Amino acid sequence: MNKTLRKIVLILAAVILLPIIFFMTNEITTLNENESVINRIYSDQLDAILFSVNQYSEDIISSWASQNEIFLNENLTETEIKNFFSSHTSLTMIFEADSIDDEKIKFIQPESLADQNDEHNSDLLNHNIKSILSEKTDIIKRLYNYQQQGFRKIEPFADSRIQDTNLLLFVSEADNNKKIYGLLVNPQQFIQKNLSPKIQQIAGNEFVISVYDTLKSFQFNSHKEIDLPKIQQEKALWIFPDYRLGISLFGTTIEDLVNQRTKTNLILISILTLILIAGVWFVFRNIKKEVELAEVKSDFVSNVSHELRTPLSLISMFAETLELNRVKTEEKKKEYYSIISQEANRLGRIVNTILNFSKMEAGKRQFNFVNSYLNDVAENVYGSYKFHLENKGFAFKIIKDETIPIIKLDEEAISEAIVNLLDNAVKYSDLPDRQAGQKKEIIIRTGLENNFAFVEVEDKGIGIPETDQKKVFDKFFRVSSGLVHNTKGTGLGLTLVKHIVEAHKGRVELNSEIGKGSIFRLVIPLSKS
């Protein structure tokens, strides 16, 4: 890469690429931040729902606790007790202890259970609860503290000694009369009987709220659907330490939505980045082309000077020789005249090429289309070059397809194009360092191809490397490798050829192989006729 291009690359990187990278990184980070804010807000909402379930279950237990003292009243009748427990089926027992060391803890339980419990069982229960209480002295102390501040806290416990039930402990301290109370509640029954209506109401049709134990051996769901969505968020159930609350969303979850959104946004950002990078690439390529063109233009000046100088010096040299009467034989004189006229023609052609090119560049070149026979145009060029080329030792042929109909052509322009091709065919076949096997042979061929007529010039010259085949039609371009460096030219001939054919709504096809030769075909549509 040369200096100018390196500079351009640096400028492009600094002015376009860096801001793009900065912008994209900024976009992606803000996107992530936005998504995490959405996620946080949503997760807070789910938390609030779970909080309300927790609050509700605590309220139920709290209301039971409020009725506790009444039901421990000794004057209660059997029926009153029975009615209480039958309306609170998940409650299996209530107890009251005067202190942690109370010898005779007072129990009250449904008749059915009491019946089953013999003396031994009752003792065992007494013993178990006592031992639990003695382990919780700290907590009970804390409960008294709360109580003194006017707040009744209910402390839950799960313990293997009370089997399927959970213990909910609270205290009271009325008139300096301290009491410890306990409710033994069956969590699964509580969830199914007391909590389920509320859960179903909160869940509605948008969420599924589930309650399950930590081992997942029990699970209650607000909906009975078979395909339950994945639990999105969970929280502990305050009143039962071994149970948890979970919430999930029907259909697309917010997480899915957020993921989906992030994905779409990332794709859009990537596409945008690609487009911007493609834009930068495009700008770079154009600038690179311009820089190359500028370089090639400077070569052009030296090439043209050389192109003009050679015929000029030949003309002046031979004219001088003739003027000084130094040529003795008529034959020699004739030869010199012919060289002068050939070189003058060459000069004329170079000047014409440059003039035509500048007209073409300015968009001022006019074409004059008339009904013509392509064969006649080719034949005329062939006629005027035959002698010259054969003199140079070329086998020069024309092969015509006589079925080509009349088409609309600018005869002069097409002749100019064929002449340019012939010039090249000569220049690039007739090199001083010719390789063995390269024949000096040029063929002009006309023909038909679908709806097109064509005229082509074939040579057995040096050929064009494949990588350069597209570029040879670019203005000022000259193949810089191989044997060509000795041959001078303007690099405009093929540009003009292409321009002329395109003005006829046609195209140029190139078929060339290094060391074997080239065929340039001018393809012109018949529909022009």
Taking the complex as a whole, the smallest distance from the CB of residue 362 to ligand ADP amounts, in Å, to 19
Number of C-alpha atoms within 13 angstroms, CB side, residue 511? 8
Taking the complex as a whole, the smallest distance from the CB of residue 492 to ligand ADP amounts, in Å, to 6
54 contacts: CB under 8 Å, gap ≥ 6: 235, 237, 238, 239, 245
Closest CB to ligand ADP among residues 290, 513: 513
Site for ligand ADP in 140-199 (CB under 6 A): none
177 contacts: CB under 8 Å, gap ≥ 6: none
Closest CB to ligand ADP among residues 375, 487: 487
Of the residues 92, 186, 424, 446, which one makes contact with ligand ADP according to CB under 6 A: 424
State the binding string over 470-509 for ligand ADP (x if CB under 6 A, else -): --x----xxx----x----xxxxxxx--------------
Closest CB to ligand ADP among residues 141, 397: 397
Closest CB to ligand ADP among residues 109, 303: 303
Of the residues 249, 377, 425, 455, which one makes contact with ligand ADP according to CB under 6 A: 425
Site for ligand ADP in 274-303 (CB under 6 A): none
49 contacts ligand ADP (rule: CB under 6 A): no
Cα–Cα distances (Å) from 198 to 24, 57, 193, 222, in that order, read 48, 9, 10, 9
Size of the site for ligand ADP (CB under 6 A): 21
Q: In what order do the strands lie in the sheet with 207-213?
A: 219-221, 207-213, 243-249, 233-236
H-run or E-run covering 446: strand 441-449
Of the residues 68, 186, 438, 518, which one makes contact with ligand ADP according to CB under 6 A: 518
Of the residues 428, 440, 446, 524, which one makes contact with ligand ADP according to CB under 6 A: 428
Q: Is 317 exposed, middle or buried (0-12, 13-18, 19+ CB in 10 A)?
A: middle
Site for ligand ADP in 347-386 (CB under 6 A): none
H-run or E-run covering 213: strand 207-213
Cα–Cα distances (Å) from 123 to 104, 107, 117, in that order, read 10, 11, 10
Residue 440 has which token pair? 């000096």
For residues 520 and 450, the answer to whether their CB atoms sit within 8 Å is no
Residue 478's φ and ψ, nearest 5 degrees, are: -135, 135
Taking the complex as a whole, the smallest distance from the CB of residue 493 to ligand ADP amounts, in Å, to 3
Taking the complex as a whole, the smallest distance from the CB of residue 459 to ligand ADP amounts, in Å, to 5
Closest CB to ligand ADP among residues 378, 464: 464
Site for ligand ADP in 449-468 (CB under 6 A): 459, 461-464
Closest CB to ligand ADP among residues 150, 393: 393
472 contacts: CB under 8 Å, gap ≥ 6: 464, 479, 494, 510
Kindly provide the residue ranges of all beta strands, DSSP E only, lying in 80-165, ordered along the sequence: 91-97, 106-108, 155-158
Task: Select the residue whose beta carbon is closest to ligand ADP and give its number.
Answer: 489
Chain positions contacting ligand ADP, by CB under 6 A? 424-425, 428, 459, 461-464, 472, 477-479, 484, 489-495, 518
